[in-house]
Amino acid sequence: MNKIIAIVAGEPNSINSEIIAKAWKVNKNKENLLVIGNFSLLQKQLERISIKIPLYKIKKIEEFIKSKKLCVLDIPLKFKSAFKVEIDKTKNYIFKSLSVAHNLCVGKKINGFINAPINKKIFNNKFLGVTEFLAFKNKIIGKEVMLIYNKKLSVVPLTTHLEIKKVPSKIKLNLIKSKVFILNAAYAKIFGKKPRIAILGLNPHNSEDRSDSIESKIIKPAVIELRKLGVDIKGPFPADTAFSKQKRLCVDVIIGMYHDQVLAPFKALFEYDAINVTLGLKYVRISPDHGIAQDIIGSNKASPQSLTNAIIFLSKLNA
């Protein structure tokens, strides 16, 4: 069972069925792929966009067989229109799908999973996103780490999906230390080497190194303590120059204080050639580094590159 590459189908009103089918077509190990989602929805959405692939429905993981068809672990979902499923139905369906994947991982039926993009409106402020929901399921709230990975450079936001006005109050010495320790250990385990880490300041020009700044009072002391404990980390660096070619070639991971501080320049550099890996869980969770792409739903124009990268990444971990 552990060779299975599981993909949670995610948001019904999205490009997910399209990118799953396209990624399946180009995958060299088709027989290992499993979709956790609604069989009928996947079937009807692919019909609508004229993508033909063979599907095979199962009701439980023990029925999984390696074949030349895409295996679908069927999750119940009632719908009338293929790309216009009501929000109250999508919410229960997505939580059920993620919970099934979580339980399969905890039960050692699969080693990890990929979740296709999800509309964060389903969380209703209870969770900021899938990363935080899975942290809750794993009972590690606040200790999860979002790693956006590309083989040339990775980034980590210290705070995730958080409003800017709330960021400063969340930056604490212990939070920095905790997340860097998790990153350092998990990166070494997954990639086989100790990461070279750069951490950014919060404010423009690091607040000009004023003694009363967050950079001087919190970030610098955290870096000093982490270096004493053997972590290869430097900073804080001003964010406006940290992604210059000369500087990014010297590190493996850049840690920012908030989501867009590192995600915006990263996506400008690599576009869809990246994956989102959640560190700190009991298993590996990966997702494509893009959203549900509402503007091209049903158009057969979506790129499967990020999902394909995620499948290759998880395949190597399962090898």
Q: At 111, which CATH number?
A: 3.40.718.10
How many residues are listed for the chain in this entry?
A: 319
**What is the mean pLDDT of the segment spanning 302-309?**
91
314 CB-near residues (< 8 Å, 6+ apart): 5, 111, 112, 113, 114, 284, 286
Average pLDDT over residues 218-238: 97
Could you tell me if 207 and 96 lie in one domain? no
Q: What is the mean pLDDT of residues 61-78?
A: 93
Q: Rounded mean pLDDT of 91-105?
A: 94
Cβ distance 272 to 290 under 8 Å? yes
The pLDDT score that the predictor gives to residue 186 is: 92
* pLDDT for the residue numbered 86: 84
Flag whether the pTM goes above 0.85: yes
Write down the pLDDT at residue 292: 86
Could you tell me the pLDDT band of residue 18, with boundaries at 50, 70 and 90?
A: very high
Residues 28 and 104 in one domain: yes
Q: Count of domains in the chain?
A: 2
Q: What percent of the chain has pLDDT over 70?
A: 99
Phi, psi of 197 (to 5 degrees): -115, 135
Same domain flag for 273 and 307 = no
Q: Indicate whether 151 and 228 sit together in one domain.
A: yes
Amino acid at 303: S
Domain of 150 in residue numbering reads as 145-280
